[in-house]
């Protein structure tokens, strides 16, 4: 949700800025754009299309994660000097590292889940289980590598939508806003 929100905020902000300053939105010249499309398709199938995701064995999911994120890392490396891309890359590296060092899964703690759903006892969260068809698996604190990079942040309780996100997701969100904001900058900048 924070990632989608970042895109919406960035788009609105840059559109308003371009309208107020009478500037035309200018797209950055990316290299290897196609790599993003090709890399992410397996993830879309695995995590966002349940009828496909359910048929993919859990043992294969970490491999899909690894390969697709590697493709995105190459894209970031080739476009490092475009506005905001270093932040996107930083977020991607953070998520990649923590996923890679935890067996191909993004760890989430039972404590985090309990914070999100306090009405349920913490025992319902079975350690080692995958959380639905997401990238997350439930780990104990002791078993996690790089605990500061896992999905440990949650939204305030008064927001009905529940989601846990990582430091990497925060970097990516800021990078998205910076990149979109740069579309309406002066040509000389």
Partner 1 sequence: MFSSIFNKLSVVFRTMDVRMLVFVLMLVLFVIGAGAPGATGLNIGN
Q: Is 179 in the site for partner 1 (CB under 8 A)?
A: yes
The candidate with the shortest Cα–Cα distance to 17, out of 7, 25, 6, 27, is 25
Q: Is 119 in the site for partner 1 (CB under 8 A)?
A: yes
Burial class, 21, CB count within 10 angstroms (exposed 0-12 / middle 13-18 / buried 19+): exposed
| 21 versus 70: smaller Cβ distance to partner 1 | 70
Q: How far is the CB of 40 from partner 1 (least distance, A)?
A: 4
Which residues in the 81-100 window bind partner 1 by CB under 8 A? 88, 91-92, 95, 99
Q: How far is the CB of 131 from partner 1 (least distance, A)?
A: 6
How far does Cα 146 stand from its chain's mean position? 17
- Determine contact, residues 76/85, Cβ cutoff 8 Å: yes
- Determine contact, residues 42/91, Cβ cutoff 8 Å: no
Q: Is 151 in the site for partner 1 (CB under 8 A)?
A: yes
14 contact partners, CB below 8 Å, separation of at least 6: 25, 180, 181, 182, 183, 184
Q: Where on the chain is the footprint of partner 1 (CB under 8 A)?
A: 1-4, 6-7, 11, 25, 27, 30, 33, 36-37, 39-40, 43-44, 47-48, 68-69, 71-72, 75, 88, 91-92, 95, 99, 106, 108, 112-113, 116-117, 119-120, 124, 131-132, 134-136, 151, 161-166, 168-169, 172, 176, 179-180
């Amino acid at each position: 949700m924070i990632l989608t929100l970042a895109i919406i905020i960035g788009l609105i902000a840059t559109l308003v800025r371009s309208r107020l300053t009478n500037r035309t939105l200018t797209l950055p010249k990316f290299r290897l754009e196609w790599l993003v499309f090709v890399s992410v398709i397996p993830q879309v199938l695995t995590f966002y299309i349940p009828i496909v995701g359910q048929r993919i064995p859990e043992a294969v999911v970490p491999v899909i994660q690894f390969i697709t994120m590697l493709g995105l890392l190459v894209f970031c490396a080739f476009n490092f000097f475009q506005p905001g891309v270093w932040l996107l890359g930083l977020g991607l590296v953070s998520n990649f590292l923590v996923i890679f060092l935890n067996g191909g899964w993004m760890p989430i703690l039972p404590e985090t889940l309990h914070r999100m759903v306090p009405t349920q006892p913490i025992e319902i969260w079975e350690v080692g289980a995958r959380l639905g068809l997401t990238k997350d698996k439930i780990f104990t604190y002791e078993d996690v590598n790089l605990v500061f990079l896992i999905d440990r942040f949650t939204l305030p309780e008064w927001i009905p939508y529940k989601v846990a996100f990582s430091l990497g997701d925060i970097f990516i969100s800021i990078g998205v806003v910076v990149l979109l904001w740069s579309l309406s900058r002066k040509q000389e900048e």
